[in-house]
Structure 1
Amino acid sequence: MTDKLPYAEVIGDPIEHSKSPMIHNFWLDALGIEAEYKKTHVTSEGLPVYFLARRADPDWLGCNVTIPHKIAVMDYTDDPGGVRERIGAMNTIASETGGPLIGTNTDAGGFLQPLLRDKWKGQSAVLVGAGGAARAILFALTSLGVPDITVMARDAGRGQALLDRAGVKGRVIGMTDALPKADLLVNTSSLGMVGQPLLDLDLKPLADDATVYDIVYAPLETQLLKTARTRGLRTLDGLEMLIGQAALAFDIFFDAEAPRERDEELRALLLAA
């Protein structure tokens, strides 16, 4: 690959852990598309300079956005789909040649894919965290009509603001409070990620047939998932959402459908890396 190829990328701080380049480049190779996907470290202070430089680059197709920029990047994009109002966070930005940067969110769709595949019919959910990923996941759960939602957050005000923005009459609990009985527990935070504190919860209050879904993927086998499996609960790991949201973004960047029939091969590649 050369620097003259069209390219997309993922930005964040930190970014070293990101598996997005491996996913997108696997699909590009599989489809024979002459383009590439990179990862670029961008700090919060560096966002203005980053977008200024990328707007001037004719080969730049856009970027995915990870922690901690999913809310801040909304200041740099147009929003024809109303993502600011409906979700309040963006994880995908597409570059329109000679036009504006278009922001959207593929996290919500990527999060839902394994739940829809498994025909999940739960009525209650607990979200750990109240950041950008939580906004997309709360939107996804409300689109399923889940009536009972609890947010577990360090900052009660931020947790309540998350619910208020979505128009959800849920409840907020602290990080040391006991979990309610629920059908689904989702870790939307960075807790458990490499370099971050572990998320160590007592899962006994969860329903016996509950699903525990951790969107952290570095490491893939988090302490939360280990604890859930010990209790015999169904688990979904971070690659489920990562691959799902990446497929939606891939179509946006490269105008091609990701070859999802090769998911098993891709997953094996990611696990071996």
Structure 2
Amino acid sequence: MVSDWPKAAVVGWPAKHSLSPLIMKTWLDETGQPGDYAIIECEPDAFESAVRERFHAGLVGVNVTVPHKETALKVADEASDAARAIGAANVLVWRQNRILADNTDHVGIARALESDSGSGPAVLIGAGGAARAALYNLKDQRRDIRILNRTRSRAEALAAEFGVSAHIHTLDDAQAYQDASLVINATSLGMTGQPPLTADLSGTAEDALVFDMVYAPLKTGLLAEAERLGRRTADGLVMLVGQARPAFGRFFGASAPDHDGVRQGLLAELERRA
């Protein structure tokens, strides 16, 4: 019976726009794995009580999206090394009456950076939660790291917390991109309804990889400029699907399909919403 199937959900405020249900339900259909996945909209003040109520209501776990990721880590009884290092959780699962927190955003970022050489200078735009997950991937690489942010002190604090010797720049500093082999946008700049991200990529390495976490629109101004210059690109859907894979396994006890078939469904949905 459906009532006996494992159930999971995405929790956010708002959350109706989330693409997680499409991803998870596509994989459930493709694998034939029994399960269900829903959307839970929850105001910040009610998050902790809602999580505990849903736990008792039979959910096996939840994906957590903005603005609850930091609170999710605090709610948990246990947390993975990644969640603790990043300072936020995007996955909560229930195991033997305990809430376990994890952060799989860095897994999605690693997927997007698979073709990165890991050697030339890396430019990280932003110093918020998404940037923390990106720096978690970069911190052990022996490369020059440059962090661009509106507030210099916040970028300095981020680098210090991760023990990274990074060069700090303002958002409009074109010199920060010189010879960079990797550029990551970890801000909402360039997203539909947000101000554009202005970045001079002309000085980046010819084989540089430019990764934008934004996926609405899928081809941001940053990626369009990168393509115009012949740079390699990775869009936000790569990260979105990448971070969902380990969550699917934890919720439903099955591996997500290796192929990228879910991307076509996501592209169709984004086109429908445009």
Q: What TM-score does the superposition give when structure 1 sets the normalisation length?
A: 0.90
* 1:141 alignment partner AA: L
Contact 1:124–1:149 (Cα < 8 Å) also in 2: yes
1:124 aligns with 2:121: yes
1:62–1:253 contact (8 Å) kept in structure 2: yes
Give the % identical residues: 40
Tell me if 1:158 matches 2:154: yes
Distance 2:41 2:137 in 1: 28
Task: Name the residue aligned to 1:134.
Answer: 131
Aligned residues: 267
Instruction: Report the CA distance between 1:48 and its aligned residue.
Output: 2.4
Does structure 2 conserve the Cα–Cα contact (< 8 Å) formed by 1:11 and 1:42? Answer: yes
Amino acid at match of 2:167: R
Name 2:66's counterpart in structure 1.
67
Q: CA deviation at 1:147?
A: 2.2
Alignment deviations for residues 92-135 of structure 1 (CA, whole Å, 9 cap, x no partner)? 111124x111001111122112433x363333211111122211
In 1, distance between residues paired with 2:240 and 2:187?
Answer: 14
The 8 Å contact of residues 172 and 198 in structure 2, kept in 1 or not, is answered as no
1:146 positional shift: 3.9
Counterpart code for 1:39: I
User: What are structure 1's unaligned runs of at least 5 residues?
Assistant: none
Q: Does 1:173 align with 2:169?
A: yes
| Partner Cα distance (2:243, 2:33) in 1 | 20
For 2:88, the equivalent position in structure 1 comes to 89
The CA deviation at 1:236 is 0.2
SS of the residue 2:240 aligns to: helix
Paired position in structure 2 for 1:206? 204
For the Cα contact (< 8 Å) 1:17–1:218, is it kept in 2? no
Farther-moved stretch of structure 1 (101-110 vs 11-20): 11-20
What residue identity is the alignment partner of 1:271?
L
- 2:262 corresponds in structure 1 to 266
TM-score (norm 2): 0.89
Which structure features the higher share of helix residues? 2
- CA 50–164 in structure 1, closer or farther in 2 if over 3 Å, else same: same
Q: Which moved more, 1:67-76 or 1:246-255?
A: 67-76
Conservation of the 8 A alpha-carbon contact between 1:95 and 1:101: yes
Distance 1:119 1:208, change over 3 A: closer
SS of 2:60 mapped into structure 1: strand
String of CA shifts for 1:18-75, please: whole Å, max 9, x gaps: 21111111000111122122222233223223223223212x1111122232223211
Distance 2:47 2:105 in 1: 21
In structure 2, distance between residues paired with 1:101 and 1:23: 23
Structure 1 residues 156 and 140: CA distance shift in structure 2, 3 A: same
Aligned CA distance change for structure 1 residues 151 and 213 (closer, same or farther; 3 Å)? same
Q: Which amino acid aligns with 1:136?
A: A
Give the secondary structure class of the aligned counterpart of 1:47.
helix
For the aligned residue pairs, the C-alpha RMSD in angstroms reads 2.0
Q: Give the aligned partner of residue 14 of structure 1.
A: 14
The residue correspondences of 1:216-231 to structure 2 (distance < 5 A) are 216-231=214-229
CA distance in 1, matches of 2:138, 2:199: 22
User: SS of the residue aligned with 1:260?
Assistant: coil
1:227 maps to amino acid: E
Q: CA deviation at 1:80?
A: 4.3
1:3 positional shift = 6.4
Q: Which runs of 5+ in 2 are unaligned?
A: 270-274
The secondary structure found in structure 1 opposite 2:203 is coil
**Residue 42 of structure 1: aligned partner:** 42
